[in-house]
Structure 1
Amino acid sequence: MKYLSVTETAERWGISTRRIQILCNEDRIPGAIRIGRTWAIPDDEPKPADARIKSGKYIKTSTENKK
């Protein structure tokens, strides 16, 4: 299996290197491994779907009483 660096994967997927690092830290890229301080991403891995909130509406998780 061939692995790509964060920079190579960012160019291939068209997103920033920082976003790739965040996806790796959140375990959203299966098969990504950490070698020292850098990530190695399998070359056949597809780009994960964007799970960030796009509507601008955040769901409140705490149960505070409004007065």
Structure 2
Amino acid sequence: MEGFMTTKEAAEKWNISVRQVQNHCKSGRIKGVLRVGTNYLIPEDAMKPTYVYLYEGKSTAHD
């Protein structure tokens, strides 16, 4: 489809895994994504989403 790329193409362009692209699509971090069946179509001009992993574990510091 003209103007869109597949998750595989986006993964290669952004240097991340296909699964990461799928997760970004599913969570709404990429604007303009179309879902066609089980596939995602990503606009060619879409920006690589930023992902920040926050870990809320127990603190090891003693007060």
Q: TM-score range by the shorter chain?
A: 0.7 to 0.9
Q: What percent identity do the matched residue pairs reach?
A: 35
Unaligned 5+ runs, structure 2: 59-63
**Two-structure CA RMSD over aligned residues (Å):** 1.7
Q: TM-score, normalised by structure 1?
A: 0.77
- Is the counterpart of residue 9 in structure 1 residue 10 in structure 2? yes
Give the Å deviation of 1:52: 1.6
- Is the counterpart of residue 51 in structure 1 residue 56 in structure 2? no
Unaligned 5+ runs, structure 1: 61-67
Aligned residues: 57
Q: Deviations over 1:5-61 (max 9, x none)?
A: 0000000000000000001110110101101110000000110111222xxx4168x
- Is the counterpart of residue 32 in structure 1 residue 30 in structure 2? no
Q: TM-score, normalised by structure 2?
A: 0.81
State how far apart, in whole Å, the 1-side matches of 2:14 and 2:41 are.
Answer: 15
